[in-house]
Chains A and B, each alone.
Chain A
Amino acid sequence: MIWLTFLMALPLAGSVVVAALPKTNEKLVKQVALFTTLLVMGATIAMAVGFQRDNVELQFVEKYSWIPSFGINYALGIDGLALVLILMSTILAPVVVLAGWNESHGGRWSVKVFYTLILVLETMMIGVFAATDVFLFYVIFEAMLIPVYFLIGGYGTGERSAAAVKFLIYSLFGGLLMLASIIALYVMSGAQGGHTFDLASLSHLQMSSTTQNLLFLGFFIAFAIKAPLWPLHTWLPDAAESATPGTSVLLLGVLDKVGTFGMIRYCLTLFPDASKTFTPMILVLAVISIIYGAILAIGQRDLKRLIAFTSISHFGFITMGIFAMTSQGYSGAALYMFNHGFSTAALFLVGGWMISRRGSSTIADFGGLQRVTPVMAWMFFLAGMSSLALPGLSSFVSEFLVLVGTFTRYPVHAIIATFGIVLAALYILIPVQKALHGPTTPGNENLPDLNLREKIAIAPVIAIIVVLGFYPSPLLKVINPAATHVIAGLGFSDPVPTSGNNE
């Protein structure tokens, strides 16, 4: 079975085709890109159907020797969490292509290069979640930076090259710390029965607690930069402000998830004891992120920066859920990752359309859009509601699970984090009020509403947000077995409620 390799090969082949197309035929380039991403989405859904939900082992496993001298394998395999994230990535890709149909025009290079980069990036997004060889993971983790770097620096707006460099330097620095840890793991594996990078084998390594703590930090800092956790977040607002909306969706929606995914897949699995040691500190950072991101979001004048800061707050929730070490917290975090992908996508895409129509990203420049462009205004409103986790929309379920999961073990943290929800209402409702309601700001009277292409692009995102809000169980059924397995693997059992009837 080579499902995963097939999934990775599809967009790669697409990128080769796109690169070979004539530069002038921009329409064909876009059509081929859209077709490829749709094909990948279809293939992913087909694979997901064959996923055995109750099986906690890795599935769709592939393993080929890659660099035998170092014991490196090309090894892939997915559990419930990885499946959910791959599904999210491959659904978002066609949405981004369709939604950002014209966003590649203002770039330094041709439209063709933009879509080649997007498709190469999609290959890596699948690979990074599917890799089960630490070396392979690292290679993709680092190589991914290059297409994103060119997407921001080449097609963004404003201070795009500075933002791209900041993004790259932060990520490379984290990556190199991780590389040092990986080298240490490799050397230790050599001393304990043969050089390997296999994740499962590495998790059985014997090491002193000091070593484990240091290596854990190497991995964790890299992931904390990626998933931006306060105080390592400063690259994100700049990158999100400069990137095109589509790139931002992939950056915040998918790439940053590699950070939180990595915390689960690598930090918790490889260094369970160190994870426990650092949990109190990480939880504090997570809570600070939640509150800090929310407060700064309230203060933003720029729409894109605002969305970026809301994400910092959301990533705080995800990190808190992961390190709460309960199965609800874990399930909540996993579900949160999926939902955040879509609510951020909705915000960025609709926000991007507003910005490109108005020609400005300052919130104060909008006003009264409800009257002029009702459909767009409603979509933005829905996206905002999803971001503040309104009950009935998907993010509510995940945020609730994270808070419940955290409360059973760390009530104080959970209570403080709850203030994040109150602040969320502020940071969403204030811009909604300023941009959508009130009198129409002069100059906005003739803005066009969403066209058919844009409606088609946003429809699946909104549908997922609404449907999963009422009926999250298909995803939870995939995530829960893995969650229980991971938490049990760490030697934790969920705390029993102190009161109430457990039936």
Chain B
Amino acid sequence: MTFTAPVLNYSLLSPILILLVGALIGVLVEAFVSKALRPVTQLSITIGTLVLSLAQVWKIRNEHSTTAAMGSVVIDGPAILLQASILIISIISVFLIADTDHFTALAASLPGSDEERHAVQTGNQVTEVYPLTLFAIAGMMLFPISSDLITLFVALEMLSLPLYLMAGLSRRRRLASQEAALKYFLLGAFSSAFFLFGMAYLYGYSGSVNFAGIRESVVGGSGNDVLLLIGIAFVSIGLLFKVGAVPFHTWSPDVYQGAPTPVTGFMAAATKVAAFGAMLRIYYTVFANAQWSWTPLLSAVAIVTMLFGSLVAIAQRDVKRMLAYSSIAHAGFLLAGVIALNKAGLDASIFYLFAYGIATVGAFAIVTLVRDSNGEVTDLNRWKGLGKRSPWVATAFAGFLLAFAGIPLTSGFIGKFSIFSAAYESGAKGVVIAGVLSSAIAAFFYIRVIVLMFFTDPIQDGTTVDIPSGLTRITIIFSIAVTIVLGVFPAPLLTLITNFATFIR
């Protein structure tokens, strides 16, 4: 028996490898560097790694349309664009994570225990969140470029496990945070099981775990359709769970609320890019020819998700929960891009993911600033009169909300328009109409927050707005600038995406 060494194409995998090396160095730093130097060392390593990885993505941008690691990974136009989006979103999220005030001093200690108190008193702040973030990002980078089921599953777990932990790291309301982490973990494990189950059926159907192999069987149409349908259904459940689509959304409001806000922002933005990236690849390439079997189902999920997210968001009194339901609604809009199943839909989805991700991180950055003596204030009633207290922060938040609502001259409008027109073009008129209706509903609760901030008098309850630290400031300014520039001059990015984004099958 001869053994052939696998050809890995290290240069194409380098963006991910760099992240993994950075994460491992982070683990060592956690163990060996003194507590005084640790935060700054970790931050510089993390940012350095991300920038290096982004540079590497830039370097390989023209080598796309190839496979690497023996066909387990595909580097094509969408892959490069999605990876770059994930990295950019991650960098600005790490700026928020850098504010250690949000994280528990010692995650391993019981809430309220002596151990915890001791860690706080001695200033022995652990910073394991940085390597965890890097591991998660590496998984996110692998997820949308995987081209076989095994790699896809590994990537899914790689991005999920660190996130489960990160959700439980909150310094304040630790019990709620740990509950969120446990909930996320349990439900996530369920969805992974569904995903695996679906994988098995797909393998049974096609005799291959490779996307190209499965696609061939779908195109050939010779296999047992029952196996295919069950496979599609269960794999879809796993993916829909990750993007938070109804009825697999129940984890998201609790996790969004319980997790430390910088982590929520990172999770909401980057996970969506990764999960939708993978989803687009699977539905646009592997399942494309079985369109008749999944489009009706996915359309129904999209419609229900949009309407449910928008309607329930109206009833929210907590800013993080409101943003959670808003992100559910946005998952519905993004599903419209998946259903479109045409080039315009792919371009629109990538644009939407980037624009939405940036605005989301920006919005959560603002949430980290509104505080009282017990930490963040997320009760919307206490956001009253924010526009009077700190007009710039309130204006920026209003800008993000208007982008979420899809008001013209913001990136959100261009995204919504392009995704709806792509879906309409493919004949999904019902989805478009539901989308327009739920946009109208959604506008209501976004505007209500603006009313609260600008048209209501502040109540004196000790709520203050922190002066943003330098890094948070960079995140907010960058996000709002991108949101507006993409709303007014989206042409360069749209052209780039149009020229770049073609899946290789």
Residues of A within 8 A of B (CB): 65-70, 108-109, 138-140, 142-143, 145-146, 150, 153-154, 160-161, 164-165, 168-169, 172-173, 176-177, 179-180, 183-184, 186-187, 190
Contacts and interface: CB of A to CB of B under 8 A. Distances in A.
A153 B494 contact: no
Nearest to A65: B491
B409 interface: yes
B350 to A, nearest CB: 12
Closest 3 CB pairs of A and B: A161-B455, A139-B408, A69-B494
B432 interface: yes
Interface in B400-442: 402, 407-409, 413-414, 417-418, 420-421, 424-425, 432-433, 436-437, 439-440
B491 A169 contact: no
Nearest to B438: A176
B424 A184 contact: yes
15 contacts: A65-B491, A67-B414, A68-B491, A69-B347, A69-B495, A108-B387, A108-B455, A138-B408, A139-B413, A164-B455, A165-B451, A168-B447, A172-B443, A176-B437, A176-B443
Given A176-B436, A183-B424, 13 more contacts: A67-B414, A67-B491, A69-B495, A109-B391, A150-B454, A153-B454, A160-B455, A165-B451, A168-B443, A169-B443, A180-B433, A183-B420, A186-B421
Secondary structure call for the A interface: helix
A154 B454 contact: yes
A168 B454 CA distance: 15
A348 B19 CA distance: 65
Contacts of A187: 421, 424-425
A428 B440 CA distance: 38
Contacts of A186: 421
A164 B402 CA distance: 16
B213 interface: no
B492 to A, nearest CB: 10
Given A143-B408, A161-B451, A180-B433, A190 B425 contact: yes
Interface of B: 347, 387-388, 391, 402, 407-409, 413-414, 417-418, 420-421, 424-425, 432-433, 436-437, 439-440, 443-444, 447-448, 451, 454-456, 490-491, 494-495, 498
A168 to B, nearest CB: 6
A294 B44 CA distance: 71
A272 to B, nearest CB: 23
Given A153-B451, A161-B455, A142 B407 contact: yes
A177 B436 contact: yes
Contact of A161 (B408, B456, B494): B456
A67 B437 CA distance: 26
B447 A67 contact: no
B407 A70 contact: no
Given A179-B417, A183-B424, A184-B424, A68 B495 contact: yes
Contacts of A153: 451, 454-455
A165 B495 contact: no
A154 B414 CA distance: 28
Contacts of B495: 68-69
Contacts of B391: 109
